[in-house]
Structures are given as C-alpha cells and as structure tokens.
Amino acid sequence: MKTSSQNHSVEKDSFEKPILTVDVAYLSIRGGELEILTIKRDKAPHEGELALPGGYVHCDEDEDLSETARRVIAEKTQLEPDYIEQVETIASRSRDPRGWTATVLFMALVSDSKRGEDDKLGKDCQWVALGGLKRKSLAFDHGELLSKVKERLVAKSRYTSIPLYLLPKEFTLSEAQKYFEITTQSTLEKKSFRRRLLDADIIEETGEQTKTGKRKAALYRNKNDSNVHFFPRMIG
Amino acid sequence: MKTSSQNHSVEKDSFEKPILTVDVAYLSIRGGELEILTIKRDKAPHEGELALPGGYVHCDEDEDLSETARRVIAEKTQLEPDYIEQVETIASRSRDPRGWTATVLFMALVSDSKRGEDDKLGKDCQWVALGGLKRKSLAFDHGELLSKVKERLVAKSRYTSIPLYLLPKEFTLSEAQKYFEITTQSTLEKKSFRRRLLDADIIEETGEQTKTGKRKAALYRNKNDSNVHFFPRMIG
DNA sequence: TAAATAGTGTCTTTAAGACAATATCTC
DNA sequence: GAGATATTGTCTTAAAGACACTATTTA
C-alpha cells in the first residue's frame, strides 16, 4: 500500500482545487412534450450555444448543494421547481476546456400550471423541446448531462409518482396517463394505469369536471402534497 | 430575476473554491454481519477517531471521481472492491470545522473470499462491525454518510443482485439467502428466494458440494460476472 | 434413528396486462 | 344518433408469499 497521500479528505494540502459547479436540468411538459430550460451563453467558450442553467457553489451563501441548485435556477427565472433531486456528480479533465471541473447534476421539475402562470423569462432563457435538441445540441457535455437526467426520469417514472409534479394542479386521469406516457416513453394500458393511480391513494377527485373535449371527465388533484409515492411494481 | 451572477458554471471568477473530496464506505460481510473499513485519524480534527477512507480529488492523477474513489481505497489497502457506486454528494458549511466542504460519497463492496485472501491492512485501518459502531461513532459527519450508504444498500438489495458481490466466489443458496437477509435487513422466505435467484439465471452450479454443516449443499457461483441484475419486483 | 439442514410442491395473493363492454358527452 | 372519449368489468398472467412436505446428511 502506498504511504504517500494518506491524509484524510480535508487536511490542508497543496493540491489544485478543482472547480465545483452545479448544473440543473429543469424540465417541464408543454405541448405533449418534455421541454428543458436552456440558457444562451453570452461568452466563450461555446458562446451563443445553449447550456443548462448552472453556476458555482457559493460557499458564503449556499448552505448545501440543493440551495445552490435553487439559486442558479432563481437567477434565471422566478419559476420555482416543484421537485428537485440530485442525480450524479460528474467530473473529469476533459469535460471543460478550461480544466478539471466537477459538476453536481440536478433534475428539477415544474408543473404545467405553475409554468403557465409565469413565462417571464430572461431573454437568454428559453424552454426547448427535447425532440428539437437533437440538431441544436448543447454546450460542453450538457448533452450527456441531459441524457443522464432523462434516463433517471424515465426510470423513476416507472415506479414512482414523480410525473405528478409535471401535471397541472387539476387534471383528468387521461391527462395523467398522457404525462406518464411521456416520461416513461412507453404507451400504458388505460385500466391498469387508473387502477394503479387510484389504489395508491395519492390523488383525489376535486368534484369538478372538465368542460372541454368530447366528453366530460372527472378532475383530480394531488393529495399527498410533497411526498413521492413508490409503487409496488414497475409499469410499462 | 437577479441580474448578478448570471455566469455559467465555469466562468473564471473570484469565488472561494470549496474543498472537494471523495469518501468511500467500503463494506464487507464477515461473521454474519456487515463490516466497514475504517481509518484511525492521526491528526486533528477528530484525532484518534475512526473515519471513512477518503481524500482529495487529485486533478492531475484522477480522470474521474470513481478513479479517486479507487485511489483512496488503494492508499489504505490492496484489497480492490468488486463493486463501486456513487451514492450522493454532500456539502455544507457545517460538516467540517475547517470550512465549506463537499464530498462525493461512494459505496464499495468486496466479496468475503477476496477479503479473506488479503488481510494485510495498514495499522491505522480496521474492519469494524456496523453493530459495534453505535457507541464508537465516526469522525466528522461520517456517521451520516454511512447511514446514507446503508440506506442505499438496503434499498438496492431488495430489487438487484448486488449482495452477490459480498458473497464468496462459491456459495450455497442458504448462504446467499443469509447474505441477502443481512443486506435487506429482513428475513426472507426460502422458496421464494431460491426461485427468484435461480429464475434470474445469474448464478450457476459449480457441480461441487459443501462438506461442512449438517448436510451437503450444492455450490453455486456468479454467472454474469460484473453485471448487476434487476429483479422484476422487490423482495422482503 | 433423531436432529438439522437442503431442497421441492403447490396453493394463495398481489398487482399488472389485455381487452371488451358500457356510459356519457358533444355535435 | 354517430363519433369520441371516459369509465368499468373481468379474465389472464407474472412473480412473490406461505407453508407443508420430502430428501439427505451427520451424530
């Protein structure tokens, strides 16, 4: 076993400190498709390209990393996420031309209705449909970061209730199914889906019905506000 | 929206860089109990207390964070883990008396037989049973880090095959069950457990039988070396 | 032969999948 | 009433749980 460098993590030492940042994939569903909040970079490198909102960890302001994530979002839009989750920390020499960097990647979700209320984004901010991103591509390795977040979202949508965070405050079961189909990237069976969602006891009828569409449908709302439900099995 | 600090993650700036470290909870099963590799600290703060192996990210040596994790383990023992997984990145002002620090937490597992071959640890290293740790307690917030790793291990042992990484190269189904019971912290039903493991097609009979014990038992070995299997449902 | 552990048979239960049938709404 | 969508009924299937039973080994 080597005898050098046996210090524990935080001994004062002379190593070059890596740059630590937080990047957030902030997702929403609009027009039947997942969209992501992008920032147009105004300086090199990758000037003019789209990037995920992100920024340095501010040791003086941020108590922890989720605060950093919330802050970097708040610097770009007043639209606060309904859900936020740390996904992975990615680091390497090659991911940024300016040197060894580490970024803590977060996934954030906001409900359709909440986003509806607020569309006052800065001019450098833009919601972009994931489908359209294939050609545009993102700055740095943000395409890969987005892939990781997508993977996490698809996986967790199969056994948790997190797609509910993307739905408007009031929704029909058909809409809920559509949203789960988008996030799981699969088509779901109607009866199974409804049974599963209702048996979980996580939504409740508002008593109201929709007016639009070919036929009225019962409206539901989220019940266990703020709690992610874990279903006993996967769907889809 | 604020207009200050709108830089993307990695603009050159004057913020105090936080300290970035990696800590590893290196687990093994011995004597029917989970054990963790601890390091006795030889300097302040927390001198003399037990801590997880960890260390700075070395921008010059480490290509990515899992390399850092492997390196900090290698600095303490030649025993290479059979499995390694990034768990979470924890950061805050308060977790270390010397300032704002961030640590990327890893879980590492090593098989019983591999650990058997090598017990040449440095004198500051020691495998400690998790049960006995309650009174000793760990330095810094390493007790909390360990809790997070335990939680991850318990959860993933219910729907993946990762406890197989803790078993010796050759094992009986009863031993496998015992190991899964330890990692899931529950008692399992014999028939269900065997059916599940055999149907998954991830282990195979060696053809040999045990000699010890009250009765001979068939020996099995891992089949899909290096692949984690995801079971269709949870157990326990 | 008794005790203990290994291994099997099989019925039940849970929750998802398939798919048809019915209900209600709008035009 | 036709077409569309919402809602329900019910049979099937996959995989875990319960639990008793048989088999093999050692003392």
Domains of chain A, each with CATH number or no CATH:
19-146 (3.90.79.10), 159-222 (1.10.10.10)
**What is the pLDDT at residue A13?**
44
Of the partner residues B6, B9, B63, the one whose CB lies closest to the CB of residue A93: B63
SS3 B112: helix
Q: Which 3 state secondary structure label does DSSP give A168?
A: coil
Nearest beta carbon to residue A65 from set B23, B91, B120:
B91
Q: Using the CB atoms, write b or e for A185-222: b if 16+ within 10 Å.
A: eeebeeeebeebbeeeebbeeeeeeeeeeeeebebbbb
H or E element that contains B85: strand B83-92
Residues in B touching A17 (Cβ below 8 Å): 17-20
Residue B7 CB neighbours (<10 A): 18
Interface size A-B, in CB pairs within 8 Å, comes to 163
Q: Which of 73-102 (A) contact B at CB < 8 A?
A: 74-78, 86, 88-93, 96, 98-102
Q: What are the pLDDT tens digits along chain A (236 aa)?
A: 433 334 444 444 445 677 899 999 999 999 999 999 999 999 888 999 999 999 999 988 888 999 999 999 999 999 999 999 999 999 988 888 778 899 999 999 999 999 986 667 778 999 999 998 887 789 999 999 999 999 999 999 999 999 999 999 999 999 999 999 999 999 999 999 999 999 999 999 999 999 877 899 999 999 977 799 999 999 99
| Distance from C-alpha of A127 to C-alpha of A50, rounded to nearest angstrom | 11
What digits encode the pLDDT tens for the residues B17-50?
A: 778 999 999 999 999 999 999 999 998 899 999 9
Percent of chain B scoring above 90 in pLDDT = 74
> Within 13 Å, how many C-alpha atoms sit on residue B119's CB side?
7
- Residue B134: the pLDDT is 80
Q: Helices (H) and strands (E) in chain B — how many of each?
A: 6, 10
